[in-house]
Amino acid sequence: MNGRDRPKRRGAPPAPTGSDRVRRGERPVPRNPRPDSRTPEFHDVDKICGLSAVAAVFRRDPGRVLRLYYSDRMKGSAGGFCATLAAQRRPYRMVPEPELERVAGTVLHGGIVAAATPRLVLPLNPDDLARWSAAGEALVILDGIGNPHNLGAIARTLAFFGLPRMVLSDHSAQAGLSDAAYRVAEGGLEYLELYSASRLPELLKSMRPLYRVVATAAEHGADVGMLSSPGKPICLLLGNEEHGLLKATLRACEHTVTIAGAGQVQSLNVSATAAILVAAIAAGKGRR
């Protein structure tokens, strides 16, 4: 039997090429997959963007941070964060700006993004309310604030003036914590205890022995100075950007307060309103 007649030795079939996979309807796996906000590693995490916000989470609760991504321009600022993650055996890496945009899901990432376990939002408890009131601590409730940028700005204001917590109602329009809220809060959310509240009108009525329950109104409300007058601590209600507070919620409040303007525009943005009113509350606490 000559060489031409010898049977060919059977071995393992050749590995399929990329084109073979495409013909079979398979998707070839890239050799170096890049992080993407749609991949499983970014499901069920808070994406915290910007140096101030990332620094705040490392300062307040570094155990929340699961991964860190940063661009070349932020490598000097990221060094301490990387050392913390290295001690916890958690990943971090420097990536190009376009890749960082995919990780963050926005171009407004500030050069650094932390993926963190989500914050806990606890149900509001009557015992907590009694304790906070006894300590003279004001409370701010957001009822239908639908824009996450406004939520973040209000959180930043509360942290700036040292209010310790924020309550989110079960209003159908109420925004929750989001990447945009964290970014705009500039770290403020890390300094607040977060609570949720349901059946708000009933809750507000039950709070009256403990708090002066005050709603914001575009007109016909009391002067802002009432927020700094002596007495029970303030519970301030901030309503939806377009429609304000529901009628049932307004009826459950003891007072309304209005910021007087020049009359050229009807009202302020809700986050600007919050800044003015919270400043008045903080001033009143300082005088007690």
Give the pLDDT confidence of 27-58 residue by residue, as tens digits.
Answer: 333 333 344 444 445 568 999 999 999 999 99
Q: Which of 89, 87, 48 is nearest to 70 (CA)?
A: 48
Helix or strand run (H / E) with residue 131:
helix 126-134
Q: Is 171 left (phi over 0), alpha (psi -120 to 50) or beta?
A: beta
What's the pLDDT tens digit per position in 131-175? 999 999 999 999 999 999 999 999 999 999 999 999 999 999 999
Provide the pLDDT for residue 285.
74
Pairing type for strands 234-239 and 193-197 reads: unpaired
Provide the pLDDT for residue 44.
82
3-state per-residue secondary structure call for 143-175: ECCCCHHHHHHHHHHHHHCCCCEEEEECCCCCC
Provide the pLDDT for residue 28.
34
Provide the pLDDT for residue 15.
45
Q: In which residue are the tokens 């059977």 written?
A: 10
**Contact 132/108 with Cβ under 8 angstroms?**
no
What's the pLDDT tens digit per position in 213-247? 999 988 889 999 999 999 999 999 999 999 999 99
Residue 280 has pLDDT above 90, yes or no: yes
- Max Cα-Cα span within the chain: 111
Provide the pLDDT for residue 158.
98
Provide the pLDDT for residue 41.
54
Angle at which helices 75-88 and 51-60 cross, to 10°: 30
Provide the pLDDT for residue 161.
97
**Contact 256/220 with Cβ under 8 angstroms?**
yes
pLDDT band at 200 (very low <50, low <70, confident <90, very high): very high
232 exposure class (CB count in 10 Å sphere: 0-12, 13-18, 19+): middle
Q: Residue 145 has which token pair? A: 């604030």
What's the pLDDT tens digit per position in 63-122? 999 999 999 999 999 999 999 999 999 999 999 999 999 999 999 999 999 999 999 999
* Sheet of 193-197, strand order: 122-123, 193-197, 165-169, 139-143, 234-239, 212-216, 255-257
Provide the pLDDT for residue 211.
97
Provide the pLDDT for residue 36.
42
Supply the pTM of this predicted model: 0.83
User: Residue 82: how many CB atoms within 10 A of its CB?
Assistant: 17
Residue 286 has pLDDT above 70, yes or no: no
Which domains are delineated in the chain?
A: 40-116 (3.30.1330.30), 122-287 (3.40.1280.10)
**Contact 204/143 with Cβ under 8 angstroms?**
no
Higher pLDDT, 253 or 267: 253
